[in-house]
A and B are shown apart, each in its own frame.
Chain A
Amino acid sequence: MTALSLNRTAGRVGADRRPLSTMQKRERRAAFLFLLPDSLGLLVFVVVPMFLAIGLAFFSLDGFGHLRFIGVDNYVRMAQDPQFWSSLRVTAVYVVVVVPVMFVVSLALAVLVKERFPGVGVVRSALFLPYVISLVVVGMIWQFMLTDKVGVVSRALAFVGLEGVSILGSPGLALAAVIAITIWFQMGYYMIMFLAGLQDIPGELYEVARVDGASAWQQFRGITLPLLAPTSFFVILTSTIAVVTGGLDLVYVLTQGGPASATSVLIFFVYEQAFLFGEYGYAAAIGSVLLVALLLWSALMFFLTHGGRFSHADD
């Protein structure tokens, strides 16, 4: 359907060499007006900031309006700033752990709640529920539960002999907590995505496989995974973006980047530099690195999905 309508349009526009009819003019004017509010908004609040992000990076700008062109100094400073590399490393660990684990967890949950057992609706809702809560509230709940000595989790750890473990006070554990909470918070979202993908797989395929004597695991490998490829691809791409650009709220509330910068992800570092230290130019330089990375990611996505028209990739 998609491809069809697009081809039709392409043919029309391409073949049109005659003077425009009133109808066509009217259509063009209408299209222009319909597109105007969003295009203008996207231009001002997305496209301009995108270019500004790069432009600003070549300036020194404090929070009091003093602006000075300094060339690539911000990038030089960034390259020499241990905090930048540390934040980059934290972000890398965060992404590299969260994305695959979230993938496996949410797919497993989707496979579970695809089954039609009594009460599956309740289970599905329960698994999704954390996603509707704000990250501020999420941060507070977990801060409460992870409080040293008196928090539920700390008490549970003490019960199994791990007394005196400080989760939010130990660098490795704090990052692990941020990772676990991120997965807990978002798994329901990706579970629903996988569920949608799973429900699109024709049941007959499994029946045929069963007749052929395929085991559950063989069915999963041979049918589910390949047919789920578009969904999987999409989940990986979007969760990567979500993890790189998200996490700011959670880190802000839960750990404030600490302890010892262990949870200071790049986006948090940018925020700190800009809005707390007033280093707007430097923050823009760091942000521009993120932006370029995301644009490359976005371009990759565009090409791999044939312009977002995924299901027609092989038309």
Chain B
Amino acid sequence: MPPRFGRRQLLAGAAALGAAGLGLGLTGCSGSGRPEPLQFWNYYAPQEQGDPEIVEQSKWFQSAIDHWNANHPEQVMPVFVPDYVNPMNPRIATAFAAENGPDIFLISPGEFLRYYNGGVLVDFKPYLTQEAFDDFYPETLATRIVGEGIYALPMEVDPLSIYYDVAAFEEAGLSEGDLPATWDQMLDVAERLTTPRRSGLVLETTPGYYQNFTFYPWVWQGGGEVVDPITQKPRIASDAVVAALELFAASIARGVAPRTLPAGGEIVTAFTQGLAAMWQRGPWSISEFQLQAPDHRYGVFPLPLPPGGRQITVAGGWAWAVNNRGRNSDAAARFVVESIGSMSAESIARGADWNYRAKSNLPARRSVSAASEQLPSYADPARAAVRELVSTSRGEPRYPPVLYKALSNTIQSVQLAGGDARVQAQVAQDAIESFLQTYEGGTLV
């Protein structure tokens, strides 16, 4: 050690120590080809109890895995991760940071770029036949494609619309003819539906990827964009975004929308207990109603529009992804493609079974949609209403965390803290502009 050890050297030394420690700590590579089963992290299986739709969905995953395991030496094991959808759940992120990530995992569009930019996703392109590739609706693959590669395979599409409680409408003296078609009508109707106990309209309030997801369609309706998909420049400081922000704020300010979700976010409980009348939701609610309260009367209508707006909605949905640092990423990719992305009769039937029995989202593939027509639930009116939305659905954008957070802060501030929409939009605009100056990674679509 040199006799004179200044503060600068100390800092440099500490930094070097840090780098060395991290080099060891976070960049080590795990060996592959271990004989352990491939871990499939998800939040469906295994689960033996719970609400009936949860049991059905768990069985579906289990049977897909069993089918693979019976025919291949590389075994797959489902790992149930509770609280998976919670943006505050660190499990998957820390598992990757510890080089101990899952082999196969469910990924939402909101999180896609974080993993893609981290360079951990396997490209399914070499595993997918051209026929199967063409079978996916282009809109569902668009947000999973970077360049020539396909980095996640969607199992479902879930376009958002408004779900409403028929009994609440009747109580308020409203009928189907009163279903709102514009933003103003929506707030007016919500006002008539609101009672001390019941919220007229539920828009998402919890900060997170999911709230951003529910926010996009209101922006697009007015021709706005968060980030322009062509120029890759943020367009948050725009009239369309400001109008959508003001809609969220107005719903709270007029007292027709709650500041926290009724019944902890459970739509069936909220409707059956008379806590909410209209709710911006996705089609997964259909199977929740079907299995938890099959006799409860509810309906679905498309998102109302702003003046001069166009009909459009957002569609998310889970996709399967494979970790390229996993135990056997080749086998994992084959498992994914065989299960949900092959033209085999089993794969197609499996897709139909998922979307039209176990869960109630829409298929991501043409062949699965066609096969679904044979299933009894195809005729269900709510599902029919949701199918109407497909032609006007756009995939949930994939934005990296900084962008997600900037937008989330703006939505939260305007919706719940009385922030000025234009000012807050500009704050997000500036933050995202400065972030994108140095951003390198998958395109923002």
Interface residues, chain A, CB within 8 Å of chain B? 48, 51-52, 54-56, 58-59, 61-67, 69, 80-83, 147-150, 158, 163-164, 166, 168-171, 252, 256-262, 271-272, 275-280
Inter-subunit contact A147/B260 (CB<8 Å): yes
Is B431 engaged at the interface, CB distance under 8 Å to the other chain?
Answer: yes
Min CB distance, A26 to chain B, in Å? 30
Closest B-chain residue to A257, C-beta based? B207
B-side contacts of A81, CB under 8 Å: 431
Inter-subunit contact A148/B93 (CB<8 Å): no
How distant is the Cα of A166 from the Cα of B197 in the complex, in angstroms? 13
25 pairs of residues in contact across A and B, judged by CB atoms under 8 Å: A55-B14, A55-B17, A62-B117, A63-B97, A64-B97, A64-B119, A66-B119, A67-B23, A82-B427, A148-B258, A149-B196, A149-B258, A149-B262, A158-B196, A164-B255, A169-B259, A256-B208, A257-B207, A259-B207, A260-B417, A261-B409, A275-B90, A277-B402, A278-B114, A280-B97
A-side contacts of B23, CB under 8 Å: 67
Is B138 engaged at the interface, CB distance under 8 Å to the other chain?
Answer: no
Inter-subunit contact B17/A166 (CB<8 Å): no
Min CB distance, A302 to chain B, in Å? 21
Inter-subunit contact A83/B416 (CB<8 Å): no
Inter-subunit contact B259/A149 (CB<8 Å): no
Inter-subunit contact A171/B417 (CB<8 Å): yes
A-side contacts of B89, CB under 8 Å: 276
| From B22, B93, B415, contact of A61 by CB (8 A) | B22
Closest B-chain residue to A58, C-beta based? B15
Min CB distance, B347 to chain A, in Å? 30
Inter-subunit contact A259/B417 (CB<8 Å): yes
B-side contacts of A280, CB under 8 Å: 26, 97
How distant is the Cα of A256 from the Cα of B89 in the complex, in angstroms? 11
A-side contacts of B275, CB under 8 Å: 149-150
How distant is the Cα of A171 from the Cα of B119 in the complex, in angstroms? 38
> Does more than half of chain A's interface fall in helix, strand or loop, or is it mixed?
loop
Inter-subunit contact B416/A260 (CB<8 Å): yes
How distant is the Cα of A66 from the Cα of B99 in the complex, in angstroms? 12
How distant is the Cα of A59 from the Cα of B17 in the complex, in angstroms? 12
Min CB distance, A288 to chain B, in Å? 10
How distant is the Cα of A191 from the Cα of B261 in the complex, in angstroms? 37
Is B367 engaged at the interface, CB distance under 8 Å to the other chain?
Answer: no
Closest B-chain residue to A146, C-beta based? B260
Inter-subunit contact B16/A261 (CB<8 Å): no
The interface centre, meaning the residue of A62, A170, A272 with most chain B CB atoms within 10 A of its CB, is A62
Inter-subunit contact A259/B412 (CB<8 Å): yes
Inter-subunit contact B196/A65 (CB<8 Å): no
| From A65, A67, A278, contact of B93 by CB (8 A) | A278
How distant is the Cα of A150 from the Cα of B274 in the complex, in angstroms? 12
How distant is the Cα of A278 from the Cα of B96 in the complex, in angstroms? 9
How distant is the Cα of A259 from the Cα of B257 in the complex, in angstroms? 15
How distant is the Cα of A170 from the Cα of B412 in the complex, in angstroms? 11
How distant is the Cα of A150 from the Cα of B96 in the complex, in angstroms? 40
How distant is the Cα of A260 from the Cα of B415 in the complex, in angstroms? 8
Is B182 engaged at the interface, CB distance under 8 Å to the other chain?
Answer: no
Q: A55-B16, A278-B114 are known; give 14 further A-B pairs, CB within 8 A.
A: A52-B17, A54-B14, A54-B18, A58-B18, A63-B96, A65-B97, A148-B260, A149-B262, A169-B205, A252-B88, A256-B88, A256-B208, A277-B405, A278-B401
Interface residues, chain B, CB within 8 Å of chain A? 11, 14-19, 21-23, 26-28, 87-90, 93-94, 96-97, 99, 114, 117-120, 196-197, 205-208, 255, 258-260, 262, 264, 275, 401-402, 405, 409, 412-413, 415-417, 419, 427, 431, 434
| From B27, B96, B99, contact of A67 by CB (8 A) | B27
With A148-B260, A260-B412 known to touch, is A52 a contact of B405 (CB < 8 Å)?
no
Closest A-chain residue to B10, C-beta based? A51
A-side contacts of B427, CB under 8 Å: 82
How distant is the Cα of A69 from the Cα of B28 in the complex, in angstroms? 18
Inter-subunit contact A259/B255 (CB<8 Å): no
B-side contacts of A55, CB under 8 Å: 14-19, 21
B-side contacts of A150, CB under 8 Å: 275
Closest B-chain residue to A144, C-beta based? B264
Inter-subunit contact A54/B259 (CB<8 Å): no
With A55-B19, A67-B26, A169-B416 known to touch, is A277 a contact of B114 (CB < 8 Å)?
yes
Inter-subunit contact A258/B19 (CB<8 Å): no
Closest B-chain residue to A284, C-beta based? B18
| From B18, B262, B412, B434, contact of A56 by CB (8 A) | B18
How distant is the Cα of A235 from the Cα of B203 in the complex, in angstroms? 44
How distant is the Cα of A260 from the Cα of B258 in the complex, in angstroms? 15
The interface centre, meaning the residue of B88, B94, B99, B208 with most chain A CB atoms within 10 A of its CB, is B88
How distant is the Cα of A103 from the Cα of B434 in the complex, in angstroms? 44
How distant is the Cα of A148 from the Cα of B118 in the complex, in angstroms? 40
Inter-subunit contact A83/B409 (CB<8 Å): yes
The interface centre, meaning the residue of A64, A66, A149 with most chain B CB atoms within 10 A of its CB, is A64
| From B18, B27, B88, contact of A65 by CB (8 A) | B27
A-side contacts of B259, CB under 8 Å: 148, 166, 168-170, 259
Inter-subunit contact B87/A276 (CB<8 Å): yes
How distant is the Cα of A51 from the Cα of B10 in the complex, in angstroms? 10
Min CB distance, B151 to chain A, in Å? 14
Inter-subunit contact B417/A148 (CB<8 Å): no
With A51-B14, A148-B258 known to touch, is A66 a contact of B118 (CB < 8 Å)?
yes
Inter-subunit contact B207/A149 (CB<8 Å): no
| From A67, A148, A171, contact of B262 by CB (8 A) | A148
A-side contacts of B114, CB under 8 Å: 63, 277-278
| From B117, B120, B207, B255, contact of A256 by CB (8 A) | B207
A-side contacts of B117, CB under 8 Å: 62
B-side contacts of A277, CB under 8 Å: 93, 114, 401-402, 405
Inter-subunit contact B17/A51 (CB<8 Å): yes
Min CB distance, B282 to chain A, in Å? 21
A-side contacts of B412, CB under 8 Å: 258-261
How distant is the Cα of A217 from the Cα of B260 in the complex, in angstroms? 46
Inter-subunit contact A278/B416 (CB<8 Å): no
| From A80, A170, A275, contact of B94 by CB (8 A) | A275
| From B11, B21, B26, B409, contact of A54 by CB (8 A) | B11
